[in-house]
């Protein structure tokens, strides 16, 4: 603000910026180390690898059957996006437009799966899914991933729908639009940006969702993040560069969608939109 700030305050500010820079620097260096290692030939006792190659990507692609893993990942993600949109958006609309008794309880019902960490409810959920013969296959993985995704869509869409003026809908009714036409011609165009943002975030979250997929996936239904976990877990069996090549593929898959998502949403929303409901 002013130039004549006390020394202590200025030191404090410098200290905080140093902290932020240190954090970002280390994180960037960590990502860079993974990327460089995945392209390196032999990296031992030096700042950089001895040479560069792309063969680790080929070997990772073959060793980890990444083609199949990616197909499963996109199947799961696609199904989760579609189903969480179909279930979540109408529910969000109902909660945004109506004040029925017990509404707070319903909101709590949707908050719980987002507040309770997946590890805690994942094991009982996996037990139930295995008993219903959904465990160990793609449908089980999809169902498990929907558990946090449906409430997420509801809680992200609710404030979005609330800010749309209900008089627009009323006007459409006055001009004789039925519920179907109201939905297609009025609501859908207005809601598209919100739905797009919510579903993109679901996409990013589902690609990175480890625990629930890990608990429910069989050998044929692993997603990329679970395959990466197994690869790191069994490190030593494969070359480290090969694992890092897979990690780069995973980062690429996730970050592309994140970048697209960030064009539509404020980054703070990724953690806070739903959480803010608790404060309200």
Partner 1 sequence: MSESATDTAANSTPLRGRLALSDLDGVTLLALPAMLFVVTLFIYPFAYGFVLSFQPKTGNWLANYTKFFSDPFLYDTIEATFRLAIPATLINVLLSVPVALRVRRMRRRRLLTAILVIPITLGTVLIAEGLLTYLGPQGWFNRVLLMFGVGPVRLVHNYTGVMLSLILSGFPFTFLLTLSYLTGIDPSLEQAASTLGAKARARFVHILLPLLAQGLAINLCLSFVQTFSVFPSAVLLGAPSGDTRVISIAAYQAAYEQYDSSMASAIAMIMGFCQLVVVVLILSGRSLVYRGATGGGKG
Q: Among residue numbers 102 through 161, which ones bind partner 1 (CB under 8 A)?
A: 106, 109-110, 112-113, 115-128, 143-144, 146-147, 150-151, 154, 159
Least distance from C-beta 192 to partner 1, angstroms? 18
**Is 235 a binder of partner 1 (CB under 8 A)?**
yes
43-72 positions binding partner 1, by CB under 8 A: 43-45, 47
**Is 194 a binder of partner 1 (CB under 8 A)?**
no
Q: Which is nearer to partner 1, 62 or 278 (CB)?
A: 278
Q: Which is nearer to partner 1, 111 or 196 (CB)?
A: 111
User: Which of 60, 76, 202, 204 is the binder for partner 1 (CB under 8 A)?
Assistant: 204
What residues have CB less than 8 Å from 205, skipping those under 6 apart?
Answer: 148, 149, 152
**Is 218 a binder of partner 1 (CB under 8 A)?**
no
Least distance from C-beta 54 to partner 1, angstroms? 18
What CA–CA distance (Å, rounded) separates 80 from 72?
Answer: 12
Tell which residue, 45, 110, 84, has the closest CA to residue 209: 84
What residues have CB less than 8 Å from 234, skipping those under 6 apart?
Answer: none
Site string for partner 1, 76-95 (x = CB under 8 A): -----------xx-xx-xxx
**Is 211 a binder of partner 1 (CB under 8 A)?**
yes
Size of the site for partner 1 (CB under 8 A): 98
**Is 190 a binder of partner 1 (CB under 8 A)?**
no
First-to-last C-alpha distance (Å) of the chain = 33
């Amino acid at each position: 603000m002013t130039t004549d700030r006390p020394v202590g305050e200025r030191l404090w500010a410098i200290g905080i910026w140093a902290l932020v820079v240190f954090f970002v620097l280390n994180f960037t260096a960590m990502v860079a180390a993974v990327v460089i290692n995945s392209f390196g030939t032999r990296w031992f006792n030096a700042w950089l690898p001895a040479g560069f190659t792309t063969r680790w990507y080929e070997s990772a692609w073959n060793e980890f059957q990444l083609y199949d893993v990616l197909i499963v990942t996109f199947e799961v993600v696609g199904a989760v996006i579609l189903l969480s949109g179909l279930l979540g958006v109408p529910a969000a609309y109902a909660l945004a437009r109506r004040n029925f008794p017990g509404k707070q309880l319903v909101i709590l019902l949707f908050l719980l799966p987002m507040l309770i960490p997946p590890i805690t409810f994942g094991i009982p959920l996996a037990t139930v899914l295995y008993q219903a013969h959904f465990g160990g296959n793609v449908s089980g993985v999809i169902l498990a991933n929907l558990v946090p995704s449906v409430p997420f869509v509801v809680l992200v869409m609710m404030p979005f729908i609330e800010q749309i003026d209900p008089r627009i809908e009323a006007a459409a009714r006055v001009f004789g639009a039925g519920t179907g036409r109201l939905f297609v011609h009025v609501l859908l165009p207005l809601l598209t940006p919100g739905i797009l943002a919510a579903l993109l975030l679901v996409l990013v979250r589902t690609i990175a969702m480890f625990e629930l997929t890990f608990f429910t996936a069989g050998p044929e239904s692993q997603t990329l993040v679970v395959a990466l976990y197994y690869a790191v877990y069994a490190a030593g069996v494969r070359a480290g560069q090969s694992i890092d090549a897979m990690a780069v593929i995973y980062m690429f898959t996730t970050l592309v969608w994140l970048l697209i998502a960030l064009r539509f949403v404020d980054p703070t929303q990724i953690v806070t939109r739903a959480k803010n409901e608790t404060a309200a």
